[in-house]
Structure 1
Amino acid sequence: MPGTLSERPQLQHLTAQLDELKQKGTYFRLRVLDDVQAPVCTYDGKRVINLASNNYLGLTAHPKLREAAIEAIKMYGVGSGAVRTIAGTMKIHMELEEKIARFKNVEACVVFQSGFTANAGTVSSILGKEDFIISDELNHASIIDGARLSRAKIKVFRHKDVSHAEEILKEIASEPGRKLIITDGVFSMDGDIGPVDQLCDLAEKYGAIMMVDDAHASGVLGRNGRGSVDHFGCHGRVDIQVGTLSKAIGALGGYVCGSRDLIDFLYHRARPFLFSTSHPPSVTATCIAAFDLLESEPERIERLWDNTRYFKAELGGMGFDIGGLTTPASETPITPILVGDGKRTMEFSRALFDAGVMATGIAFPTVPEGKARIRTIMTSEHTREQLDQALETLERIARKMGILG
Structure 2
Amino acid sequence: MSESSLTRCSKSIGFDERISKALSDRATKGLSRSLIASQGGNTTELIRNGQKLVNFSSNDYLGLANDSELIEAWQRGLSLYGCGSAASPIVTGFSSAHANLESALCEWLGFERAVLFSSGFSANQALLFTLLEESDVVYQDKLNHASLIEAGILSPATMRRFKHNDDSHLSSLLNLYEHNCGSSLVMTEGVFSMDGDMAPLNALNKVIGDRAWLAVDDAHGIGVLGKEGQGSCAAQDLKPNVLVVTFGKAFGLSGAAILCDASTGDYLTQFARHHVYSTAMPPSQAYALTKALEMIKTQQWRRDKLAELKSVYSENLSRFEQVIKTETPINPIIIGEAEQATKAALALNKAGFGVTAIRSPTVPSNQSRLRVTLTAAHSVDQVKSLSSCLEVTLQGLN
Give the equivalent residue in structure 1 for 2:328. Answer: 332
Q: Distance in 2 between matches of 1:85 and 1:148?
A: 28
Q: Distance in 2 between matches of 1:35 and 1:336?
A: 23
Determine whether 1:52 maps to 2:53: no
Post-superposition Cα deviations, 1:61-84, rounded to whole Å, max 9, x if no partner, equal: 111211111111111110110011
Post-superposition Cα deviations, 1:119-151, rounded to whole Å, max 9, x if no partner, equal: 111011011010001111111111112212321
Post-superposition Cα deviations, 1:15-70, rounded to whole Å, max 9, x if no partner, equal: 22222222222213223221362122322321111110000000001112111111
1:255-266 pair list within 5 angstroms? 255-266=257-268
Determine whether 1:114 maps to 2:119: yes
Q: Distance in 1 between matches of 2:339 and 2:18?
A: 22
| Contact 2:312 2:384 (8 Å CA) reproduced | no
What is the letter of the counterpart of residue 29 of structure 1? S
What is the letter of the counterpart of residue 163 of structure 1? S
Give the equivalent residue in structure 1 for 2:256. Answer: 254
Determine whether 1:345 maps to 2:350: no
Q: Distance in 2 between matches of 1:397 and 1:217?
A: 29
What is the letter of the counterpart of residue 63 of structure 2? G
Determine whether 1:295 maps to 2:297: yes
1:233 to 237, 242, 245: 237
1:181 to 176, 179, 186: 186
2:244 to 242, 245, 248: 242
2:86 to 81, 87, 97: 81
| Contact 1:124 1:148 (8 Å CA) reproduced | no
Task: Say if 1:42 and 1:339 are closer, same or farther in 2 by CA, change over 3 A.
Answer: same
What is the letter of the counterpart of residue 137 of structure 1? K
| Contact 1:107 1:258 (8 Å CA) reproduced | yes
Give the equivalent residue in structure 2 for 1:326. Answer: none
| Contact 1:34 1:44 (8 Å CA) reproduced | no
Give the drift of 1:268: 0.9
Q: Distance in 2 between matches of 1:283 and 1:301?
A: 24
Q: Distance in 1 between matches of 2:198 and 2:382?
A: 27
What is the letter of the counterpart of residue 368 of structure 1? P
Determine whether 1:356 maps to 2:352: yes
| Contact 2:121 2:147 (8 Å CA) reproduced | yes
Q: Distance in 2 between matches of 1:35 and 1:309?
A: 26
> What SS does the aligned partner of 2:40 have?
coil
Count of residue pairs brought into register by the alignment: 388
| Contact 2:316 2:388 (8 Å CA) reproduced | no
Give the equivalent residue in structure 2 for 1:370. Answer: 366
Give the equivalent residue in structure 2 for 1:282. Answer: 284
1:29 to 34, 38, 47: 34
1:377-396 pair list within 5 angstroms? 377-396=373-392
2:222 to 218, 221, 224: 218
> What SS does the aligned partner of 1:212 have?
strand
Q: TM-score, normalised by structure 1?
A: 0.92
What is the letter of the counterpart of residue 34 of structure 1? Q
Identity of aligned residues (%): 31
Task: Say if 1:263 and 1:366 are closer, same or farther in 2 by CA, change over 3 A.
Answer: same
Runs of 5+ unmatched residues, structure 1: 2-7, 324-328
Give the equivalent residue in structure 1 for 2:106. Answer: 101
Give the equivalent residue in structure 1 for 2:198. Answer: 193
Alignment root-mean-square deviation, CA: 1.7
| Contact 1:322 1:330 (8 Å CA) reproduced | no
Post-superposition Cα deviations, 1:67-113, rounded to whole Å, max 9, x if no partner, equal: 11111111111011001111211111111111111111111101111
Give the drift of 1:320: 5.0
Determine whether 1:134 maps to 2:139: yes
> What SS does the aligned partner of 2:138 have?
strand
> What SS does the aligned partner of 2:65 have?
helix
Q: Distance in 2 between matches of 1:384 and 1:346?
A: 26
| Contact 2:171 2:208 (8 Å CA) reproduced | no
1:143-162 pair list within 5 angstroms? 143-162=148-167
Q: Distance in 2 between matches of 1:397 and 1:163?
A: 38
Q: Distance in 1 between matches of 2:234 and 2:394?
A: 38
Give the drift of 1:349: 1.3
Q: Distance in 2 between matches of 1:215 and 1:35?
A: 22
> What SS does the aligned partner of 2:318 have?
helix
Give the drift of 1:322: 1.8
Give the equivalent residue in structure 2 for 1:40. Answer: 45
Give the equivalent residue in structure 2 for 1:321. Answer: 322
